[in-house]
Amino acid sequence: MPVDAPITDRSWLHQRLTSDDPAILDDLWQRADACRRAEVGDAIHLRGLIEISNHCTRHCAYCGLHVANRAIQRYCMDDDEIMASVAQAVDFGYGTVVLQAGEDPRLTKDRISALVERIKTTTPLAVTLSLGERHEEELRAWRSAGADRYLLRFETSNPDLFERIHPRPPGAPDRLTLLRSLRALGYEVGSGVMIGIPGQRWDDLIDDLLTFRDLDLDMIGVGPWLSHPETAIGADPAAWMAPADQQVPNTEDLVYRVIALTRLLCPAANIPATSALATINTVNGREQGLQRGANILMPNLTPITYRALYQIYPGKACIDETGTQCNACMRGRIGRIGRHVGSGRGDAPNRSRRGA
Ligand code: SAH
């Protein structure tokens, strides 16, 4: 492989994903960190995550919130509870709130529109929605109400694997189509994948990386697949696995490689060190992600009474911390690696460069 091979070269990517050569890995970490510094700087932007409902109508084979899981108690926060968490985001100096939920019909077009308008007229915050696959008219209404960004992971670029892990009602658009609609509506668009979900092959992961670039994403979140026993895959992972020499593992090491390659492929995107990464390394997973290409953290602002119930996977990091504790912890981690908390909304440079 020539040293100057283009970063979109599949065998170059494959080697970075699989090689055990310390020189190749050191070079990858250094390039990713230098690219991050040059493109998005040393600021780490904080996004307050509010998990507003754990109801879901879908049957995703990986996610603990799927509709048939009777083992969890369901909740949906009311508007005043959500606004109390939003007020905390302002108090803590965050630039953004992220409202996330299962695909919950209680979160109607009008309710979310009114809520977004309330946040936008009473606070300086950017609003990110992550409410799953919704009708285009809902996405349009929420954008008109002032929503700035939308997060919707495409989960895997392999259409067959996606169908298996993510059964869809007939006629529902696929996530790649929805991502294009979100872009056309003027949202800052975020997506991502799980790493090491049973059935994911190396070629799929390389396609995922190249898809991030093709979609020209503004935000890209990646994290390890974590087995949840109350899901179809978690109940019998072996039955879903690709042949051993092709199956991507859900290891911490691989998450860093994917973060680093994502930074090189999408230099001006915002890339979080995710909670799933922090879950597999509670000691310093976030810090290592931030040192290998990431520039965003998402402290949790979900009220403590609901937090443990938003169980997309078990053992989630920070499950019993209050918003105040989470804020202090994140700031400490940022200071200890010599970086600083970003001011303002932390929009993705990628979007402004596109001329949006
Ligand atoms: N209903 C929304 C939000 C889902 S939770 C949606 O579908 O977009 C946000 C993300 O958590 C998902 O996109 C998925 O990538 C991730 N996730 C779900 N279950 C997971 C698991 N078992 N392990 C790791 N990540 C998981």
Q: What is the dihedral of CA 77, 79, 81, 85, to 10 degrees?
A: 110
pLDDT computed for residue 319 by the predictor = 87
Q: Which atom of ligand 1 is nearest to the CA of 234?
A: 22
Helix, strand, coil percentages, rounded to 5, for the chain = 45, 15, 45
- Measured N-to-C along each axis, helices 202-214 and 252-265 cross at an angle, to the nearest 10 degrees, of 30
Q: What is the DSSP string of 148-196?
A: -EEE---B-S-HHHHHHHS---TTPPPHHHHHHHHHHTT-EEEEEEEES
pLDDT of residue 4: 60
pLDDT digits over 23-74, tens only? Answer: 999 999 999 999 999 999 999 999 999 999 999 999 999 999 999 999 999 9
**Residues linked to residue 126 through DSSP beta bridges, in sequence order:** 96
Q: What is residue 2's predicted lDDT score, i.e. its pLDDT?
A: 47
| CB of 165 closer than 6 angstroms to any ligand 1 atom | no
Can you tell me which atom of ligand 1 is nearest the CA of 231?
A: 22
Which of 53, 100, 152, 153 has the most ligand 1 atoms within 8 A of CB, as the residue to mutate?
Answer: 153
CATH of segment(s) 10-350? 3.20.20.70
List C-alpha distances in Å: 316 to 33, 216, 313, 322: 27, 30, 7, 14
| Cα 142 to Cα 1: distance, rounded to the nearest angstrom | 48
Residues of the chain below pLDDT 50: 1-2
pLDDT tens for 294-337 read 999 999 999 999 999 999 999 988 888 999 999 999 999 999 99
The C-alpha torsion from 196 through 182 and 172 to 233, rounded to 10°, is: 20
The DSSP result for 243-292, as a single string, is PTTTBPP--HHHHHHHHHHHHHHSTTSB-B--HHHHHH-TTTHHHHHHTT
Distance 21 CA to ligand 1 centre (A): 32
Confidence at residue 354, expressed as pLDDT on a 0 to 100 scale: 84
